[in-house]
Structures are given as C-alpha cells and as structure tokens.
Amino acid sequence: MASVLNGTPIDCERLASAVKSDDPIYKAWLTSKEYWDFLVNFYEANWADSDFSEYFWAANGIFSSLLDTATLARQVPIADVYHPLTTGSSGFVGAWPRSSTGAR
C-alpha cells in the first residue's frame, strides 16, 4: 500500500486477496505499528518540510478511502459487463468484479 504515496505500482493481487476475505484485518493495518512506521519514515524522507498533521491525515484519507472503496466493490452484483462512468474510485469499483469474476 505504500506505493500509493511513492508512485510505484500497487500489488493489486495482494490487496485483492485481503479485501476478498471476510476478515476485516486489512482495515486494522491503518492502526498498526507497521503503518505508523511507514508513514513516519516516508514523511521524514520526502515531506519533512511540511506539516506532519496535514501529511498524516492526507495519507490516512488516501488509504482509508481505497480500502472503503474496495469493500464497496465486493458488493457489486455479478454481471456480464461493467461500465464505470469515470476513472478513480468508480473505475476501481467497476474493475473489481471484472477481476473477481472474469466478466467483460
């Protein structure tokens, strides 16, 4: 998930496996020491001139939104075709069932 902030590709398969499970453990990551350490290290290396509070809440918003969107995407009914109207979150919601079911 750290790649959302540094521009490297996200391991979508890993994210998909976490979100496909009924275990909400992936949301617990946002309160883990691993997440905190990542945030602090990334901040110190890249954003140390900015306000940590603003950085923290922006990063938390990005990750929390991504995980909430993934949760929503799990509830999309199975269909033959998915057509999201935009990219970003709705594109993710449209792509999720495609990757899960093999639909077009």
pLDDT digits (tens, 9 = 90+) for 32-54: 888 888 889 989 999 899 999 99
Query: How many other C-beta atoms are found inside a 10 Å radius of the C-beta of residue 100?
Result: 15
Q: Is residue 87 part of a domain?
A: no
Q: Is residue 82 part of a domain?
A: no
Q: Is residue 91 part of a domain?
A: no
Q: Is residue 101 part of a domain?
A: no
* Residue 84, pLDDT score: 73
Q: Is residue 27 part of a domain?
A: yes
Give the count of domains, the chain: 1
Q: Is residue 65 part of a domain?
A: yes
Q: Is residue 46 part of a domain?
A: yes
pLDDT at 1 over 50: no
Q: How far is CA 86 from CA 51, 91, 92, 94, 102, in A?
A: 32, 6, 9, 10, 20
